[in-house]
Amino acid sequence: MVPVSEATIEADGVEQTASSVPELEEEGDIAADYIEELLDITDLDGDIEIDVRGGRAYVSVTSPEDSNLRVLAKTETVNALQELTRIAVQTKTGSFSRLILDVGGSREARQKELANLVERAVERIEAGATSAALPPMSSYERKLVHDIVAEKGFTSESEGEGRDRHTVVRRA
C-alpha cells in the first residue's frame, strides 16, 4: 500500500503528488490567512472555516444573508479567487495546491446549476440524441458532473483541451 503522502493523482493530464492531512491543513491555514487579509483590505465581512476531505483542503467563507460578501460569491469571481489563493499557497509551500474555495455558498449553488445542466443533457439523450455536450468548466466541476451523471445511470467523459475542456454525456 502506498502512503497517502506518496500517492499520485492525475488532474487534467498532470500527475501530482497527493498531500497528507497535516499538509492539507497547512494549505488551509495559509489560504485562510490570505483570504482574511483580502477581506480586511476590501472591508468585507466573513467567517472562515477550514476542512480537509477527499485529498483536498476546503476553505469556506460564510456570513449572514445581509452581508456585503455576496459581491464575491459569483462563480467566476470565486474561481478567480480560488486560483489566486492556490498561487499564494503554492508560493508558501512550494507544492501544487488542489484547494477548493467556497464563498457564501457559491459551490452549493453551482452544484445545483450543474445538476440542472446534467438533467437537460439526459432529457436530450432520452429524446433521441446520441450524446450531449456540456459547456467548458473546471476540472473540479467536471468531476462533480461525472458523479451526477453516474448517479443517473449514464456515462460521461471529458473532451477538449485547456479552457475548452468540457464533459460529454452518453447512454451507459
Both 10 and 94 in one domain: the answer is: yes
Helix 139-151 crosses helix 106-126 at what angle (to 10 degrees)? 50
pTM: 0.74
55 and 91 inside one domain: yes
Residues 58-71: pLDDT tens digits?
Answer: 999 998 776 788 88
CA-nearest of 46, 53, 34 to 73 is: 46
| Domain identity same for 27 and 93 | yes
Q: How many domains does the chain have?
A: 2
75 and 49 share a domain?
A: yes
Cα–Cα distance between 150 and 122 in angstroms, integer? 11
Residues 76 and 118 in one domain: no
End residue of a domain, out of 52, 74, 104: 104
For range 34-55, the mean pLDDT: 93
Cα–Cα distance measured from residue 131 to residue 128, given in angstroms and rounded to the nearest whole number: 9
Antiparallel, parallel or unpaired: β 100-103 and 56-62: parallel
Cell of 118: 446534467
Whether residue 96 is found in the same domain as residue 113 = no
**Residue whose grid cell is 460521461:** 156
The answer to whether residues 34 and 115 belong to one domain is: no
Decide which of 87, 104, 121 is a domain's last residue: 104
Alpha helices per DSSP H over the chain? 21-42, 75-93, 106-126, 139-151
For residue 67, the domain's CATH number is 3.30.300.20
Task: Please tell me the predicted confidence (pLDDT) of residue 18.
Answer: 58
Q: Measure the CA–CA gap between 122 and 169, rounded to whole angstroms.
A: 8
Residue 4: pLDDT band (50, 70, 90) is: very low
Q: Are residues 79 and 41 in the same domain?
A: yes
Same domain, 99 and 112: no
The reply to whether 95 and 132 lie within a common domain is: no
Residues 97, 154, single domain; the answer is no
Q: Which of 60, 88, 104 is the last residue of a domain?
A: 104
60 plus 132 within the same structural domain: no
Q: Choose between 18 and 10: higher pLDDT.
A: 18
- Structural domain boundaries enclosing 140: 108-171
Q: What is the CATH number of the domain that holds 113?
A: 3.30.1370.50
Query: What is the tens place of the pLDDT at every residue in 102-124?
Result: 998 888 899 999 999 999 999 99
pLDDT at 7: 37
